[in-house]
Amino acid sequence: MAAYTGRFAPSPTGPLHLGSLVAGLASFLDARAAGGRWLLRIEDLDPPREQPGADDLIMRTLDAHGFEWDDAPLWQHSRLDAYSQALLTLRDAGHVYPCVCARKSFTGVYPGRCRGRTFAETPGPYAVRMRVPEGAAVFDDRFLGPQRMPWTDVGDFIVRRKDTLFAYQLAVVVDDAAAGVTHVIRGNDLLDSTPRQLALFDALREPAPTFGHCATVVHADGAKLSKQTGAAALDNRVAGASLLTALRCLGQDVRELSPDLSPRQLLTEATVRWDPGRVGFARHVSAGGAPVR
Ligand code: GLU
């Protein structure tokens, strides 16, 4: 196993946009600068949200932007047995319980109403919730430094939905553990997920990776770039310009990088110059790469 294994894990809900490029680029450069491996995983766990062909489109876009990944990409739909197995492990160890509460029956953090329920005495359908520990989740973010999140702010969270789909939180941990991922580098819109994933690594007795969260790219009105907010798809014809913008969004110094370089050359140059110490410069950046208050 390489000393460093990173990954990019897009959901095939639509084409990649600048926000996804920033997260993918951060994970790629951090891995390559460390001489590590970089894996691609397609997170197709939620069919109603997916767009047919988006996985293919994502891979072609990554290719046009000069990215090369190690090994064959992994599709989460091929991993359902592994998620079932992990759920059994959690269940046998008493980390999870069945929950029959409707999402609309509470606001904010789940109040733990079903904590006392047992699987044997609860007829389906039910969601499966993970019991969070006492105290606080503490971790050292690669870009943001020490983080502390009280478990009372997180609450018991769903690992398998009532409609029997596995939750993102469980799948991501099972897959990162199986692939030997040592560094999870992604956008800070997922910072809230990190305590949940740390709890799962711990409960499944797997070593937790290092987490690093880079800036999210926002529209002028402050809304995160996403398919829902109408973010523009990356245009392969201007891949070099998009890479330079994404590097600015990561706080990197691009003054010596010529826009005439091919995407692959740009990535090579950016890897040599990669400065993880500059990534935490902003929580939110505009589509031009400037920090947003
Ligand atoms: N599939 C998730 C997304 O596209 C990312 C998961 C992760 O990086 O942990 O937002």
Give the domains, in start order, of the chain with CATH numbers: 5-78+173-285 (3.40.50.620), 80-168 (3.40.50.620)
| Cα 117 to middle of ligand 1, angstroms | 31
Distance in angstroms (rounded) separating the CA atoms of residues 132 and 155: 6
Backbone angles phi, psi at 71, to 5 degrees: 65, 175
Best probe residue, ligand 1, of 141, 168, 184 (max atoms within 8 Å of C-beta): 168
Task: State how far Cα 202 lies from the chain centre.
Answer: 18
What ligand 1 atom has the least distance to the C-alpha of 13? 4
Ligand 1 binding pocket includes 10 (Cβ within 6 Å): yes
Per residue in 125-177, pLDDT (tens digit) is 999 999 999 999 999 999 999 999 999 999 999 999 999 999 999 999 999 99
Provide the pLDDT for residue 1.
52
Q: Cis omega (within 30 of 0) on the bond before 125?
A: yes
Torsion of CA 274, 271, 248, 229, to 10 degrees: -120
| Cα 38 to middle of ligand 1, angstroms | 15
Ligand 1 binding pocket includes 172 (Cβ within 6 Å): yes
Backbone angles phi, psi at 208, to 5 degrees: -80, 140
Ligand 1 binding pocket includes 218 (Cβ within 6 Å): no
In eight-state DSSP terms, residue 283 is S
Provide the pLDDT for residue 110.
97
> Quick check: 291 and 282 in contact, CB under 8 A?
yes
Q: Region 31-41: what's the mean pLDDT?
A: 98
The residues near 135 (Cβ < 8 Å, ≥ 6 apart) are: 150, 151
Per residue in 37-70, pLDDT (tens digit) is 999 999 999 989 999 999 999 999 999 999 999 9
Backbone angles phi, psi at 284, to 5 degrees: -130, 140
Which residue, judged by its Cα, is nearest atom 7 of ligand 1? 9
Ligand 1 binding pocket includes 190 (Cβ within 6 Å): yes
Q: What is the mean pLDDT of the chain?
A: 95
| Cα 221 to middle of ligand 1, angstroms | 23
DSSP string, 55-87: HHHHHHHHHHTT---SS--EEGGGGHHHHHHHH
Per residue in 103-129, pLDDT (tens digit) is 899 999 999 999 999 999 999 899 999
Provide the pLDDT for residue 191.
96
- pTM: predicted TM-score of the whole model, two decimal places: 0.96
Half-sphere exposure (Cβ direction) of 259: Cα atoms closer than 13 Å: 8
